[in-house]
Amino acid sequence: MRFSQSLIPTLREAPANAEIPSHVLLLRAGLIRQLGSGLFTWLPLGVNVLQKVERVVREELTKRGAYEILMPFVQPAELWKESERWQVMGPELLRLADRHDNEYCLSPTHEEVVTDLFRNNVSSYRQLPCNLFQINTKFRDEIRPRFGVLRSREFIMKDGYSFHLDEETFDATYQAMYDAYAAILTRLDLDFRAVEADPGLIGDGDSHEFHVLANTGEDALAFSQDGDYAANVERAEAITEELRPDSKKDLTKLATPGVTSIESLVDFLEIDIVSTVKTIIVEGKDSPIALVLRGDHELNELKAARLPNVVQPLRFATEEQVLDAVGCKLGSIGPVGLEIPVYVDRAAGVLADFYCGSNETGFHLSGVNWDRDVSCDNNVDIRRVQEGDPAPDGSGPLSIVRGIEVGHIFQLGTKYSRSMQASVQDANGVNVFPLMGCYGIGITRLAAAIVEQRHDEIGIDWPTEASPATLHVLSLNAERSELVRTTSNQIYSDCMNAGIDVLYDDRPERPGVKFADADLIGIPHRVVVGERALNEGKVEYRYRRGETSLVEPSDIVRRLNA
């Protein structure tokens, strides 16, 4: 690729509307341009990266028995109505009509279409298991696109779907896909974690997410430093090892004028926050429902939403609903005397002599004890785990890091095969609904996640397998030197003939400009062709930011292939 003839519009300054490193650097290094909110054009260098990432993904999947297909991006509404997702999904599903007024959607994912394909073409258990994938554009009308290509509306994803007659073959494929994802991220030289995940609304079985670790990640991951436990904090179980001590104090009502938060209660009474509980009222199917947490803990909304009779998705009660159900304002709620269902988090349930709201505005209670003063029958896990909490499998304290979710694998069970009547005949001639698995990995998101994890103050640091090129050749002042010109042209054509990807900076720019752009773009191998070294018959070779060495021009290809 000749720099001068390609379209590589590098920028000296960061565009004003880019905030995070991957967005800034992909723009500055000339890999992408933004068209609109959540919509991006990929320029030549960017397309190279996508193709490299796709190649790694394809190789790891096909060697594990998955076959590539390509399904339509625009899909008829009928299929989505069959699975009922037309009704269930909100405005993130972009719907449109054609000239005949028929309804369609832009596909965010392809379960319906692949299941339809399967039922129309597979009818015997002899054809199972079947594992298909595609790499295709997706569209999700995100409420708020952000973080550049990390959360865009239109994006490229590899999505795969497998069909199975029994658990055994399903488990084997699930494990193979798990291994494929780990292999992909390993080849891309990324620091990543596979974690237990919440399957969301898609399925109900096992689910794992693959996260690239980065400070800008949207997800928090909990993992034990010593053991194998790793989970999304949304999913991580919070266990409590302490036992409840005996009560020592009497229940006492305290006047606490103006105290409406745990922080102000702690300050006002000069007490330990760990001796307090907070009570949160959420909407329930029959009546509001109270959730009790230790003062320093945070509610895990996914856990709370799974409690019986809690509405899904979780909604906090309004001030009016609280006044109606409890009889006080938001800052004075407590579990004692409530006539609505009360769920107590495990950690709150082991407290004795604690402080809480009195359900009377302006007053709190001290010396409160479970069983004696208020029932603690519904002891549940509803809090977010914190740094230092014990891992639920006993493997030591948890650390919490941030990650970018690049892959997600699910067990779909028979949800789609059943709702779309995609049955096959088993060996006994009985029609059965196959088990399905679903495996996604974001191509464009992965490209951004790489930059997010691998950059420094001067630019990107591409892993070899995702780099827009293997080698960056800079010819310095070629217009003044016949020798520089012919040598760099020779290196370029030698590499092309040897199948090595080269970005050849043949522009008539000053050396400083070329060096700065090379640092920014971040291709791992660099060869500088200039008069200085050519006087000794050599060119300068450097691996990323390592030491420079002088090598024979004719030796470049051999070195890169070594």
Considering the complex, state which of residue 56 and residue 149 has its C-beta at the smaller distance from RNA. Answer: 149
Considering the complex, state which of residue 16 and residue 255 has its C-beta at the smaller distance from RNA. Answer: 16
Q: How far is the CB of 248 from RNA (least distance, A)?
A: 38
Size of the site for RNA (CB under 7 A): 64
Binding positions for RNA, 45-84, rule CB under 7 A: none
| Secondary structure class of 97 (helix, strand, coil) | strand
Considering the complex, state which of residue 49 and residue 350 has its C-beta at the smaller distance from RNA. Answer: 49
Is 314 near RNA (CB under 7 A)?
yes
Candidates 42, 147, 174, 223; binder of RNA (CB under 7 A) is 147
Q: How far is the CB of 172 from RNA (least distance, A)?
A: 21
Residue 414 class from Cβ within 10 Å (0-12 exposed, 13-18 middle, 19+ buried)?
Answer: middle
| Secondary structure class of 25 (helix, strand, coil) | helix
Q: How far is the CB of 397 from RNA (least distance, A)?
A: 26
> Which range in 119-127, 139-147, 289-297, 371-379 contacts RNA by CB under 7 A?
139-147
Q: How far is the CB of 336 from RNA (least distance, A)?
A: 29
Is 12 near RNA (CB under 7 A)?
yes
Is 559 near RNA (CB under 7 A)?
no
> Which range in 258-266, 272-280, 292-300, 507-515 contacts RNA by CB under 7 A?
507-515
Contact in structure between 312 and 305 (CB atoms under 8 Å): yes
Is 40 near RNA (CB under 7 A)?
no
Helices and strands, number each (H, E), in the chain: 16, 30
CB atoms within 10 A of CB 50: 19
Candidates 99, 100, 144, 248; binder of RNA (CB under 7 A) is 144
Is 36 near RNA (CB under 7 A)?
yes
Is 19 near RNA (CB under 7 A)?
yes
Is 485 near RNA (CB under 7 A)?
no
Give the Å distances, CA to CA, from 153 to 15, 47, 224, 407, 432: 20, 18, 34, 17, 37
Candidates 155, 181, 192, 541; binder of RNA (CB under 7 A) is 155
Is 475 near RNA (CB under 7 A)?
no
End-to-end CA separation in angstroms for the chain: 22
Query: If you ran DSSP here, which 8-state letter would residue 480 be given?
Result: G
Work out whether strand 207-213 and strand 398-413 pair parallel, antiparallel, or are unpaired: antiparallel
Candidates 95, 146, 329, 485; binder of RNA (CB under 7 A) is 146
Considering the complex, state which of residue 351 and residue 435 has its C-beta at the smaller distance from RNA. Answer: 435
Q: Contacts by 317-326 with C-beta closer than 8 Å and gap 24+?
A: 317/281, 317/282, 317/283, 317/288, 321/281, 321/283, 321/288, 322/281, 322/288, 325/281, 325/287, 325/288, 326/281, 326/288, 326/290, 326/359
Candidates 517, 523, 524, 553; binder of RNA (CB under 7 A) is 517
Considering the complex, state which of residue 265 and residue 406 has its C-beta at the smaller distance from RNA. Answer: 406
Considering the complex, state which of residue 148 and residue 349 has its C-beta at the smaller distance from RNA. Answer: 148
> Which range in 74-82, 257-265, 360-368, 508-516 contacts RNA by CB under 7 A?
508-516
Contact in structure between 559 and 530 (CB atoms under 8 Å): no
State whether the Cα torsion 184-186-187-189 is positive or negative.
positive
Candidates 133, 163, 170, 410; binder of RNA (CB under 7 A) is 410
Q: What share of the chain is helix, strand, coil (3-state, %, to 5)?
A: 30, 30, 40
CA pair distance 12, 44, nearest whole angstrom: 19
CA pair distance 496, 442, nearest whole angstrom: 30
CA pair distance 548, 536, nearest whole angstrom: 15
Is 408 near RNA (CB under 7 A)?
yes
Render 522-555 in DSSP notation, one character per residue: --SEEEEE-HHHHTTT-EEEEETTS-EEEE-GGG
Q: How far is the CB of 435 from RNA (least distance, A)?
A: 16
> Which range in 7-15, 48-56, 245-253, 258-266 contacts RNA by CB under 7 A?
7-15
Q: How far is the CB of 52 from RNA (least distance, A)?
A: 19
Candidates 122, 271, 323, 516; binder of RNA (CB under 7 A) is 516
Is 13 near RNA (CB under 7 A)?
yes
Is 171 near RNA (CB under 7 A)?
no
Element (H or E) spanning 398, and its range? strand 398-413
Considering the complex, state which of residue 134 and residue 379 has its C-beta at the smaller distance from RNA. Answer: 134
> Which range in 269-277, 390-398, 429-437, 518-526 contacts RNA by CB under 7 A?
518-526
Using only the alpha carbons of the chain, give its radius of gyration: 29
Q: How far is the CB of 371 from RNA (least distance, A)?
A: 34
Candidates 238, 281, 289, 476; binder of RNA (CB under 7 A) is 476
CA pair distance 45, 475, nearest whole angstrom: 19
Contact in structure between 222 and 383 (CB atoms under 8 Å): no
Candidates 154, 389, 452, 540; binder of RNA (CB under 7 A) is 540
Closest CA to 538 of 529, 548, 547: 529
Query: If you ran DSSP here, which 8-state letter would residue 205 be given?
Result: S
Contact in structure between 219 and 445 (CB atoms under 8 Å): no
Candidates 59, 218, 298, 494; binder of RNA (CB under 7 A) is 218
Candidates 211, 415, 445, 454; binder of RNA (CB under 7 A) is 445
CB atoms within 10 A of CB 229: 21
Is 138 near RNA (CB under 7 A)?
yes
Considering the complex, state which of residue 29 and residue 266 has its C-beta at the smaller distance from RNA. Answer: 29
What are the structure tokens assigned to 210, written together?
């693959």
Calculate helix-pair angle for 44-62, 167-187, nearest 10 degrees.
Answer: 140
Q: How far is the CB of 330 from RNA (least distance, A)?
A: 16
Binding positions for RNA, 192-211, rule CB under 7 A: 200-202
Which parts of this chain interact with RNA (CB under 7 A)? Answer: 10-17, 19, 34, 36-38, 90, 92, 108-109, 138, 140, 142-147, 151, 155, 157, 159, 200-202, 218, 301, 313-314, 408, 410, 438, 440, 442, 445, 458, 476-477, 480, 509-513, 515-520, 528, 530-534, 540
